[in-house]
Chains A and B, each alone.
Chain A
Amino acid sequence: MDGNKLVLETERLLLRPHTLADAPVMAALVNNRKIAAMTGTIPHPYPDGAAEAFIEQAQSALADGTGFTLAIVRRSDSAFMGNIGLRPNQHHAAEIGYWLGEIYWGKGYATEAAQRMIRFAFEDLALHRVFASHFAINTASGRVMQKVGMTYEGTMRQHIYKWGEFHDLVYYGILVNEQTS
Chain B
Amino acid sequence: MSKILETDRLMLRPPRRSDAPVFYRLINDPQIAANTLGIPYPFSYEQALSYIQDQLDRINTGEYRAFALALKPENQFIGYARLALREDHQRAELAYWLGKAYWNNGYTSEAVACLVDYGFQRLHLNRIYALCFADNTGSARVMQKAGLVYEGTWREDVLKNGVYKDVMFYGISRDRYETASR
- Assess whether B89 is interfacial by the CB under 8 Å rule: yes
CB pair B156 A156 closer than 8 Å? no
CB pair A129 B156 closer than 8 Å? yes
Chain B residues in 8 Å Cβ range of A173: 154-155, 157
State the CA gap A160–B157 with chains docked (Å): 21
Known A161-B88, A161-B89; contact A156-B154, beta-carbon cutoff 8 A: no
Proximity string of chain A (37-49) to chain B, C-beta cutoff 8 Å, 1 when within and 0 when not = 0000000000000
CB pair B158 A156 closer than 8 Å? no
State the CA gap A90–B173 with chains docked (Å): 30
State the CA gap A159–B125 with chains docked (Å): 11
Chain A residues in 8 Å Cβ range of B154: 131, 153-154, 171, 173
- Assess whether B103 is interfacial by the CB under 8 Å rule: no
State the CA gap A158–B90 with chains docked (Å): 10
- Assess whether A93 is interfacial by the CB under 8 Å rule: yes
- Assess whether B169 is interfacial by the CB under 8 Å rule: yes
CB pair B155 A153 closer than 8 Å? yes
Known A160-B89, A161-B89, A161-B90; contact A91-B157, beta-carbon cutoff 8 A: yes
- Assess whether A155 is interfacial by the CB under 8 Å rule: yes
Known A90-B159, A91-B158, A129-B157; contact A156-B152, beta-carbon cutoff 8 A: yes
Partner of A171, one of B89, B126, B152: B152
Chain A residues in 8 Å Cβ range of B173: 157-158, 166
Proximity string of chain A (144-181) to chain B, C-beta cutoff 8 Å, 1 when within and 0 when not = 00000001011111111100001000010101000000
State the CA gap A128–B162 with chains docked (Å): 12
Proximity string of chain B (161-179) to chain A, C-beta cutoff 8 Å, 1 when within and 0 when not = 0001000010101000000
State the CA gap A173–B149 with chains docked (Å): 21
Chain A residues in 8 Å Cβ range of B127: 157-159, 166
- Assess whether B153 is interfacial by the CB under 8 Å rule: yes
- Assess whether A92 is interfacial by the CB under 8 Å rule: yes
CB pair A159 B129 closer than 8 Å? yes
- Assess whether B91 is interfacial by the CB under 8 Å rule: yes
B180 to chain A, nearest CB (A): 14
- Assess whether B46 is interfacial by the CB under 8 Å rule: no
A19 to chain B, nearest CB (A): 32
CB pair A154 B169 closer than 8 Å? yes
A90-B159, A156-B169, A157-B173 provided; 15 other pairs, C-beta below 8 A?
A92-B159, A128-B156, A128-B164, A129-B155, A131-B157, A153-B153, A154-B151, A157-B171, A158-B127, A159-B171, A160-B89, A161-B89, A161-B91, A171-B152, A173-B154
